[in-house]
Structure formats: C-alpha cells, structure tokens
Chain A
Amino acid sequence: MSGTVAVRVPTILRTYTGGESDVAVPIGEGATLADVVAALEAAFPGIAGRVVDDTGQLRRFVNVYVDDDDVRFAAGLQTPTPDGTKVSVIPAVAGG
C-alpha cells in the first residue's frame, strides 16, 4: 500500500458507507480513479455499481471531482489519484 485517497460520499450512497459522508480508501502506486472505485467496492460492496454503469463507464448523471477538477475535463476514470488526493462524488442533477 502506498497511500490513501479521501472520498466525499453523496447522501444517496451513504447507505453503503454506514452513513459516513467521508471515507478513506487505500490505493497503490500509480493509482487512478478506476482503482479508487475498485477500492471503494472492496470496502463497501455494491457502491461501484452506482457510480459506473454495466460497461464500466462513469454513469451519465454522476459528477466526480479529483481535487478541484471535474474528471470529464481530465482523463475520466484514468485520472491519476496519488496519495492524499481528495475525490468527491456528486449527483449531476443540480443547478440552473
């Protein structure tokens, strides 16, 4: 293990995290957002299927931020997530 990533969990996924709004998951060297999702699934079974669809892509109405950047502006699930990264998962259906 080479570090941890902090994940902000939206209300609708907190049933998986025992009500916790902030969780930390272990990640390895050269980890990406896909690895963070896998680590979340290992810790909280079922949660990954809510964030990614059957084809392994981020769901259409999920916004994921790695630190301050929307991963759609970066490399999506391949966005690097080094030790200490903060990931925020937010429903996209907001605003306007």
Chain B
Amino acid sequence: MTVTLPVATQAPAPSTSGSRADLGPATHLSCRECGAATALGPFYACTECFGPLEVAYDFGAVSRERIEAGPPSIWRYRDLLPVPARVAGIPNTDPGWTRLVRADRLARELGIETLWIKDDSGNPTHSFKDRVVAVALAAARELGFTVLACPSTGNLANAVAAAAARAGIRSFVFVPRDLEQQKIVTTAVYGTALVAVEGTYDDVNRLASELAGEHEDWAFVNVNVRPYYAEGSKTLGYEVSEQLGWRLPRQVVIPVASGAQLVKVDKAFRELTELGLVEGEPPRVFGAQAAGCSPVSAAFKAGHDVVRPVRPSTIAKSLAIGNPADGPYVLDVARRTDGAVEDVTDNEIVEGIRLLARTEGIFAETAGGVTVAVLAKLVREGLLDPGAETVVFNTGDGLKTLDAVSTVVGPVGTIAPTTDAFDALVPEVSAR
C-alpha cells in the first residue's frame, strides 16, 4: 500500500556539518560502559563495546543569577545542555518550567510530612517528552539531520510531531498499533507521518533502530541522537532544585520506562552539587514501575545488575518497555543513593490516579498513577522515610489515558431536571 505522506511546509536546512556543530558546553561523547571517548556527532553506541554514549561537558562558570535571568523554559539551563547558546531564538515548543505543587492533602493521606508533585503535564504536549525532544531537535539541527522521527509509546509521539510541526521539518512517528486512541489523535493532528506497527513497543523500537541505519539524515530522537535527547531530562532535576529555592529534596520518586529520565535527574542533582549551585547530598532516588512491566524492579529485588527483558502487559502503556535501555543504570542509581525500585498492579495504578486527582486536583496519566501508587507502597513498606521531604514526578496528562479510569468514575446519577429528582438522588444535601 502506498500513502501520501505529509510534507514539510518549508525546506529543511541543515545548518552545519557535524564537525562544526555548535553544541554549547558539550565537549565529546563518552561510553558509559568502557569510558572510550568519541567526537561529538550523530553517534549513540560505542564502537568498542556497544555501550551507550553520554554527553560530556566543560561547563565553565555557571551561576544561579544567570540561570534565573533566563527564559521561563528549559532554555534557562542552556549552559548545562548540548545546545547552542542561541537555542531559545530558534523555533521550538519552549517546554519546561512546569509547576512544583505542594501536596499537603496527599501527604496527609499517606502519612508523609512534606510532599511535592513536579507536574510535567503542563508542558506543550502535556508530558515531560517535550523537554527531551526540544534538546534532541536543537542538537539534530546542529548535526545536520533533516527529518525528525521516533518509536514511541505515545507521549513522545505527541512531542516529536508537535516539535517538527513548529520547526517546519518532516517527521515520522512509529507507535504500537494498540496505543490509546487519545494518543493516536493527539499525534496525527500535527500532520506527522504516523505509522502504526503490529507489535509491542519493543518491536517498534527494533524497527526504528533498523531504519535509523538506513536513513542517515533522519534523527530518531531516542535512537541515533539519544545521547543528546536524554540530556533534556536533566532539566526536571534542575527545575525542582531551583523551585525549592536552590535546595535538593531528600527523596524523589520517578517512573521508569527506559530508565533514562531517572538516571538523568540523578545526574542533574549531582551536577548542581558539583557546580556549587546547591548544597547538601543528592537525594535518595526511587524508581516506579507497573507490575505488568517490571524488569528493573524485578532485577533490583533479586539483587541483579543486569535486567532480563519481559513482555509487557499493563495499562501503563507509556511505561511498557520490556527491554529498558537504561535499566542497569537505574539499578546503579537506586543502590548508590539508598533508594529502591518498586512496582504496583494495574488496580493500584488506577487507585493512584484517583488518589492524586481526589486529593490534589491533578489528573495524571497512568505513569503518574504508577508513581503515586509506588509512593504509597514505599511508605507502607517502610522503604521511604515519611519524615523526609519528597518530590514525586507526574510526567503526563490523564486526558491521554482516559480508558484507565473511564469504567470506574462517572456521574453519581442521571436525573430529570427537577429539584425533587436531585433531592431524591442526594437526600443528605436536600435543602428541604
């Protein structure tokens, strides 16, 4: 079957070759497994050992004042990201600087003293993925890519499609066929070439990896520009610290899909400490998974340092990565910081969504339900200190995963438009 693909409204213009790319304070790529150094470029796996490459920097002098004078977006942290200094002036979705909500009612319900929600549903396409895509797009432009692409469980699909539309470049988005309808619509509307693939996310991911090898001018944001993309998640850690008044929380609970977000938030906390921008020890880091896709939690509990892939089966589709690329590093972070990785059932996820909505007025997607439910479980198990300041991350919007709760919430009743009918339905509030 052939289809007519949407085309960009303006011709892509590679700004420069990889060797002359302006990637700000980034100096090179470093293998997280063997330490081998690679020049900055469109590389993601170490040629020595296949290990993941990570951006290395020379930050120079970075001050709180310079950051605070920056724009109300992730670009206030441009001096800490692999992007050119002028990045905020290039068309992008300007994500980040989302609210940090004091969650006293939820805290009381769970028996915690001080609790905050980092609510990243406030991003342009309503998930934290706008952060990573914005950084990937900025780097991809510098590296000369002309097309933006990704395999996605949904949130990334939204973010890539929107960012490409705003940048005026062509995009291809690959998703599992059984994705939530809301995420299909909220991707396709941006005019991307959305391709539904028969299989799981891991199958889609494999396809994307093979396509990345065939289309050298395509930036698969989470494949061949993944070292740059993943750095975008650091901004969650920077923001939490700045919003707390340049202070680190004592504990954080973060959802785990590939694990990259958790690992990069930990990296952000350590960078801020090393740069002297905050004081104190980096927090204990807890990872949250769904029981139906819990390879990292299982490895943590078993004391393993490798993650055995699983075939996912959970309503938390945005976390349904059975073969998580950063799983081993999540284990390292959780163990190094005296944290843990825990998982919860689908029923607990639904209850987590409802609990957060009922106590704080925040409607989280299933990943947020996972995080809140894991928070509750960690408190019950005595693994999380209820007396220590804690931040939990809500990384997406409940409007994208309505199916998860549509069968358990609804009207208290349907009545005729009369006061008698209302009084009969809710007699305890009757005025007569």
A interface with B by C-beta (< 8 Å) = 8, 10-12, 15, 21, 50-51, 53, 59-63, 65, 68, 70, 72-73, 88, 90-96
Partner-binding segment picked from B111-119, B321-329, B381-389, B419-427: B321-329
Whether A91 lies near B321 (C-beta < 8 A) is no
How far does the alpha carbon of A45 sit from the alpha carbon of B223 in the complex, in Å? 27
B365 CB to closest chain A CB (Å) equals: 16
Chain B residues within 8 Å of A59, by CB: 49-50
Contact with A50, one of B43, B50, B260, B321 (Cβ below 8 angstroms): B50
- Nearest residue (CB) in A for B54 is A93
Chain B residues near A72: list those with CB within 8 A: 308-309, 323
Supposing A12-B47, A95-B325, A96-B257 touch, asked if A73 and B309 sit within 8 A by C-beta, the answer is yes
Give the secondary structure class of A's interface. loop
Q: Is B24 an interface residue (CB 8 A)?
A: no
Within the complex, what minimum Cβ distance (angstroms) separates A66 from chain B? Answer: 13
Report the bound CA distance from A96 to B47 in whole Å. 22
Interface size on B (CB < 8 Å)? 43
Residues of B within 8 Å of A51, CB to CB, are 50
Q: How far is the CB of A61 from chain B (nearest CB, A)?
A: 4
**Residue positions of B touching A, CB distance < 8 A:** 33, 43-53, 151, 201-203, 205-206, 208-210, 212-214, 220, 222-223, 226, 257-261, 306, 308-309, 311, 321, 323-326, 328
Given the known A-B contacts A95-B222, A96-B222, are A90 and B209 also in contact in the complex, defined by CB atoms under 8 Å?
A: yes
Rounded to whole Å, the gap between the CB of A43 and the closest CB of chain B is 19
**Interface pair A10/B213, CB less than 8 Å apart:** yes
Whether A94 touches B33, Cβ cut-off 8 Å, given contacts A61-B50, A63-B206, is no
Contact status B208-A94, CB under 8 Å: yes
Distance A68 CA – B48 CA, assembled complex (angstroms): 26
Complex A-B: 14 CB contacts under 8 Å: A12-B50, A21-B213, A21-B214, A60-B51, A60-B306, A70-B323, A73-B311, A92-B323, A94-B205, A95-B201, A95-B208, A95-B222, A96-B259, A96-B260
Q: Is the CB of A61 within 8 A of B45?
A: yes
Nearest B residue to A65 by beta-carbon distance?
B206
Contact of A63 among B43, B311, B323 (CB under 8 A): B323
B228 to chain A, nearest CB (A): 13
Complex formed: what's the CA distance from A59 to B326 in Å?
A: 15
Cα A15 to Cα B43 with chains together (Å): 14
Q: Is there an interface contact between B260 and A70, defined as CB atoms closer than 8 Å?
A: no
Given A12-B45, A72-B309, are A93 and B52 also a contact pair (CB < 8 Å)?
Answer: yes
Asked whether, in the complex, the Cβ of B258 is within 8 Å of the Cβ of A90, the reply is: no
Q: Which residue of A50, A88, A96 is within 8 Å of B210 (Cβ)?
A: A88
Kindly list chain B residues whose C-beta atoms are within 8 Å of the C-beta of A11.
Answer: 212-213
Q: Is the CB of A95 within 8 A of B328?
A: no
A94 touches B223 (CB 8 A): yes
- Known A50-B50, A73-B309: A95·B210 in contact at CB below 8 Å: no
Closest to A94 in B: B223
Q: Are B309 and A94 in contact (CB under 8 A)?
A: no
A92 B325 Cβ-Cβ under 8 A: yes
Q: Please measure, in the bound complex, the distance between the C-alpha atom of A63 and the C-alpha atom of B202, giving whole angstroms.
A: 11
Chain B CB within 10 A, most for which of A53, A90, A91, A95? A95
Q: Are B257 and A60 in contact (CB under 8 A)?
A: no
**A40–B377 CA distance with the chains assembled, in angstroms:** 49
A50–chain B nearest beta-carbon distance, Å: 7
